[in-house]
Amino acid sequence: MSIYKIKLDHFEGPLDLLLFFIKRDELDIYDIPISKITKEFLEYVNLIKMLDLETAGDFILMASTLMRIKVRMLLPREVDERGGEIDPRNELVQALLEYKRYKELTDELSYMESNQRKLSFRGNFKEDFKVAPPEFDTLLKDITIFDLAKVFRIAIDNLKPEVTHEVKKINITIDEQIMYILDNLLKEAEVSFIKLVSDMHEKIRIVITFIALLELTKIGKIGLKISDGFNDFIIYKLEDGSNIQINN
Amino acid sequence: MDQIYKSIIEALIFSSDDVVPAAELIKTIKGIDGDEIKITEEDIEKSVESLNSNYEQENRAFLIKKIAEGYIFATREEYANYIGFLTLEKSKRRLSQAALETLSIIAYKQPITKPELESIRGVNCDYMLSTLLDKKLINISGRSETVGRPLLYKTTKEFLKYFALNSLADMPKPREIEEIMQDEDFLEQKRKIMMNAIEEEVEKETADETSNDNEAE
Amino acid sequence: MDQIYKSIIEALIFSSDDVVPAAELIKTIKGIDGDEIKITEEDIEKSVESLNSNYEQENRAFLIKKIAEGYIFATREEYANYIGFLTLEKSKRRLSQAALETLSIIAYKQPITKPELESIRGVNCDYMLSTLLDKKLINISGRSETVGRPLLYKTTKEFLKYFALNSLADMPKPREIEEIMQDEDFLEQKRKIMMNAIEEEVEKETADETSNDNEAE
């Protein structure tokens, strides 16, 4: 693991974390060593359990993207319409560069914000109520049916963003999911990830299961291998993991 | 008292959202520069007087007024009619916006009760309803069956006449408006793209007519 | 333009509780003194410049800023800490890094949909969007024509005011991607920033254990 002490919530997202690796190790962004970076990324994702799990989802999505790229790197390259080989990393590189561009602008905005905070606008305005209210006849002067319709739409639209967040508490722990995975591996020697999570309806449950997987991989209880399908992988039991205790 | 405090006093009275008592000004200055700073209410008063005589000399449009609770900036009387005009324009705009919004919701959601209307607008609508009733743009069409049986409002013939509509069915659908209401730039771009497409079409047609084996690029 | 209008312009901007566009100043002056008065936006701009150079000479604690295509009085920077003390920083909290990042993407790419925004940031943006909508820094500007017709977002006047910008054109220009790559200090300079941040983070961690409410909303 890295010699640097890093808290994951310091990063704005998975792209930010990847950019950090690239900067720290002085990697060529056009030639990212994908195995190395995937490994490191997964290590960090493993730390996510210290964080709120809403953030974890985005990191885990990136972990699966990295794993997919890693697999594609081993396969014969796809070719574009001009016959050139397509680097499986292209999309990721473009995303990283685009993100970096806005990251720089964010710094500038932050600087502008600090400057603006030093200004105070003039305060203390007492409106002069001696002025009579305007005659109603002038209020709807020159108004067309289009204006009317437009205003209606805006009034309705302004209602939409008021989303009420309903918090549904799902009691689920990493340890529980570790048991769940091990139970599955008792029945069968190998199980695919998709199959493992196929009955799960809540995103959070899948996320926790993934973390449990990483945990088990880390302590050497299970192994992971690539499945035939690009978006899946196989989990199998390791013999020598039996002496490792799971903290409960 | 240091001269710099005259400017600080000016800045503080200027930016405050309320009348500032002299004691607050002193507290602030000591809070930042330390308790050992010597500054009294009399110093404040003198600074304000000095500021005001600066403003007078320089013909500024404002001055600092001392009222019971403290200090406050105010514009000079001679500009009252200009300022009145500007604020009147502003309140006019606000009112006409409110009238339009109320009327539009009634038009599209009719018949509608006051509670429903208020929940959409997020503000009390008594004044707007009575004004619109007064002008006969809306009327009462009955009572709702819901709790409290509130009155139902709908638009009138007068409303149709006002907007030169034959019937309510002629009102634009919210969906149609949605399409029109894209950003100006977006519309402009869309127009350009469409114009280009039409031009290309026209060019192609003319080219097709003259020679039939002309490859279009 | 008559010299008297310089004072009237001063009075009008001074009395207004928000940014005043030049067009409104002209409308007000013509509304009171008659349509035949010759006064242009350029005259307004010159008057404001002249007022500002007066303030500078006279060492006033404030000046007129041009923000969001209009004019507003503001205090000079050097008094910020005194004003902050008096107003107790008025709940003037800074935006979080995530909010700034989201805003910068919306500002440059507007109008932009949530899916586009999320694909650039690589994270879910629901919470950020609702926070920024709440603060009126962004608004809904319509719907995109793409699949699902997602809502489009753009920045508001309040956004310009928050960053003291006259217009969006005053924002720093984003660099071309090629340019970012050629950057020698792409590795060096940013790493330093990162390392500093991490050190701070470690320091903060100990502080965090005692108080837990450092994040803005």
* C175: closest CA of chain B, how far (Å): 23
Look at the block and give the residue holding tokens 């002309």: B214
Return d(Cα A121, Cα C65) in angstroms, integer: 9
* B117: closest CA of chain A, how far (Å): 11
Return d(Cα B179, Cα B172) in angstroms, integer: 11
Higher pLDDT, A71 or A202: A71
Per-residue pLDDT tens for C96-152? 889 999 999 999 999 999 999 999 999 888 888 888 988 889 988 777 888 877 888
Measured between CB atoms, which of B32, B76, B85 is closest to C82?
B32
Contact B45, C95 (CB under 8 A): no
Contact A128, B87 (CB under 8 A): yes
B chain contacts of residue A138, beta-carbon cutoff 8 Å: 92, 96
Query: Of B87-96, B97-106, B203-212, which gets the smallest average pLDDT?
Result: B203-212
Higher pLDDT, B27 or B188: B27
For A233, the token pair is 């992988």
- Farthest-apart Cα atoms in chain B, separation: 97
- CB–CB of A15 and C122 under 8 A? yes
Measured between CB atoms, which of B11, B16, B104 is closest to A148?
B104
* C43: closest CA of chain A, how far (Å): 23
- CB–CB of B8 and C142 under 8 A? no
pTM for this model (two decimals): 0.62
Residue of C nearest to B177 (CA): C142
Peptide bond into A33 cis (omega under 30): no
Confidence class for position B211, pLDDT limits 50, 70, 90: low
Look at the block and give the residue holding tokens 């009462």: B140
Higher pLDDT, A232 or C79: C79
The crossing angle, in degrees rounded to 10, of helices C41-57 and C4-15 is: 80
Whether B214 has a pLDDT exceeding 50, the answer reads: no
Whether B212 has a pLDDT exceeding 70, the answer reads: no
**Residue C124 burial (10 A CB sphere; 0-12, 13-18, 19+):** middle
Cα distance between the two ends of chain C: 49
Cα distance between the two ends of chain A: 25
Measured between CB atoms, which of A5, A100, A122 is closest to C198?
A5
Per-residue pLDDT tens for A102-122? 988 888 888 888 888 888 888
* B69: closest CA of chain C, how far (Å): 16
Subunits next to C (3 or more Cβ pairs <8 Å) are A, B
* C36: closest CA of chain B, how far (Å): 16
Subunits next to B (3 or more Cβ pairs <8 Å) are A, C
Q: For CA atoms C162, C166, C167, C168, give the dihedral sign.
A: negative
In 3D space, the residue among C73, C61, C52 whose CA is nearest the CA of residue C6 turns out to be C52
Look at the block and give the residue holding tokens 């009102």: B171
A interface residues, B as partner, C-beta within 8 Å: 120-124, 127-128, 130-131, 133-134, 136, 138-140, 143-153, 155-156, 159
Residue of A nearest to C197 (CA): A10
Higher pLDDT, B142 or A127: B142
Confidence class for position A246, pLDDT limits 50, 70, 90: very low
**Residue A134 burial (10 A CB sphere; 0-12, 13-18, 19+):** middle
Measured between CB atoms, which of A120, A130, A148 is closest to B100?
A148
What is the arrangement of strands in the sheet containing C20-21, beginning at the earlier edge strand? C20-21, C70-75, C62-67
Helical H segments across chain C, by residue range: 4-15, 22-33, 41-57, 80-86, 97-109, 114-121, 126-134, 157-162, 177-182, 185-208
Q: What angle do CA A87, A88, A91 make, to 5 degrees?
A: 95
Whether A80 has a pLDDT exceeding 90, the answer reads: no
In 3D space, the residue among A62, A33, A17, A48 whose CA is nearest the CA of residue A218 turns out to be A48
pLDDT of residue C212: 44
Measured between CB atoms, which of A145, A150, A152 is closest to B163?
A145
* Continuous segment of H or E residues that includes residue C64: strand C62-67
Cα distance between the two ends of chain B: 82
